């Protein structure tokens, strides 16, 4: 079964609403001819409305970078699924390593956030990945298996149609150190084996697994060219419309 490439820009804590609208207005023209990939931009919360308006009618979809597990209540600083739905976003990222590292995100909270998104009809990019120490200790596959099993606990085979996995080796994020295509492919294949054990082959073969970590126009072709790499979750190289367009077009 052919998996459609999905390339998403995670803009992290960058760009005001005005800057977001300007880049999306430029991007949507540059990628208007792209039909072989889903393109998603995930701006910061305060820029989402501007992003949704700028992207309207184009093939650029908009996502959020996080979502609360609760629907409402005393959760200072959090944004709920219904609040996000109202903005018009269709995607949300859960479990990004920066959330795990700086904001005490755990596999259990990733799981709860992912379920809240699915229940609201949002599609989710669930991030997993090992630290440098874990790679050096040769426990990369074990770490990814734990994050997958716990992060997806209780999520049904049917719901997996709305899930994309983003494998992001933590040591490759924002460092310029990309996993080699072979290294990334090995971990992607291992992750797909875990999905096979959890959901069976048909579901596992249909789930897209993105690579993230210093992906850029110069390496997207080799990375996305691997059998089990179905796209990218891109930080730095997604912030400039021309760079991100080149990254996307080289990958296809
Ligand atoms: P960079 O592409 O800047 O390494 O960031 C990757 C990332 O964390 C995307 O979520």
Whole-angstrom distance, CA of residue 224 vs CA of residue 184: 10
Q: Each residue of 71-119: pLDDT tens digit?
A: 999 999 999 999 999 999 999 999 999 999 999 999 999 999 999 999 9
| pTM for the model | 0.97
Q: Which of 96, 145, 185, 188 is catalytic?
A: 96
pLDDT at position 180 over 90: yes
Burial letters 51-75, b for 16+ CB under 10 A, else e: bbbbbeeeebbbbbbbbbbeeeeee
Span from the CA of 98 to the centroid of ligand 1 (angstroms): 10
Phi then psi for 40, rounded to 5 degrees? -130, 140
Three-state secondary-structure class, residue 124 = strand
Cα dihedral sign for 58, 64, 69, 75? Answer: negative
Longest dimension (CA), the chain: 48
Q: Which domains does the chain have, with CATH numbers?
A: 5-251 (3.20.20.70)
Q: Which of 98, 105, 145, 168 is catalytic?
A: 168
The answer to whether 133 and 143 are in contact (CB under 8 A) is: no
Whole-angstrom distance, CA of residue 155 vs CA of residue 163: 10
Q: Each residue of 126-176: pLDDT tens digit?
A: 999 999 999 999 999 999 999 999 999 999 999 999 999 999 999 999 898
The per-residue pLDDT for 178 is 85
Kindly write down the DSSP assignment for every residue of 51-71, as one continuous string. HHHHHTTSSEEEEES---SSS
Whole-angstrom distance, CA of residue 196 vs CA of residue 65: 27
Going by CA atoms, what residue is nearest to atom 1 of ligand 1?
235
């Amino acid at each position: 079964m052919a998996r459609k490439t999905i390339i998403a820009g995670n803009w992290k804590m960058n760009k005001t609403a005005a800057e977001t609208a300007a880049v999306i207005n430029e991007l949507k023209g540059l990628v208007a001819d792209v039909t072989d990939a889903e393109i998603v931009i995930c701006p910061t919360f305060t820029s989402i409305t501007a992003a949704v308006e700028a992207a309207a009618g184009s093939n650029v979809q908009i996502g959020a970078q996080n979502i609360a597990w609760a629907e409402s209540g005393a959760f200072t600083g959090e944004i709920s699924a219904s609040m996000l739905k109202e903005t018009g976003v269709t995607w949300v990222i859960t479990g990004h390593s920066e959330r795990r590292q700086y904001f005490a995100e755990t596999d259990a909270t990733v799981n709860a956030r992912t379920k809240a998104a699915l229940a609201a009809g949002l599609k989710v990019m669930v991030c997993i990945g090992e630290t440098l120490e874990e790679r050096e200790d040769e426990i990369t596959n074990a770490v990814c298996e734990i994050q997958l099993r716990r992060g997806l606990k209780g999520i049904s085979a049917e719901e997996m149609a709305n899930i994309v996995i983003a494998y992001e080796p933590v040591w490759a994020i924002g460092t310029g150190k990309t996993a080699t295509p072979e290294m990334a492919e090995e971990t992607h294949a291992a992750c797909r084996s875990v999905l096979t054990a959890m959901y069976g082959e048909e579901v596992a073969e249909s789930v897209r697994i993105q690579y993230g970590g210093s992906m850029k126009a110069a390496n997207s072709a080799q990375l996305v060219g691997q059998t089990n790499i179905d796209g990218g979750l891109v930080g730095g190289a997604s912030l400039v419309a021309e760079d991100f367009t080149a990254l996307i077009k080289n990958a296809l």
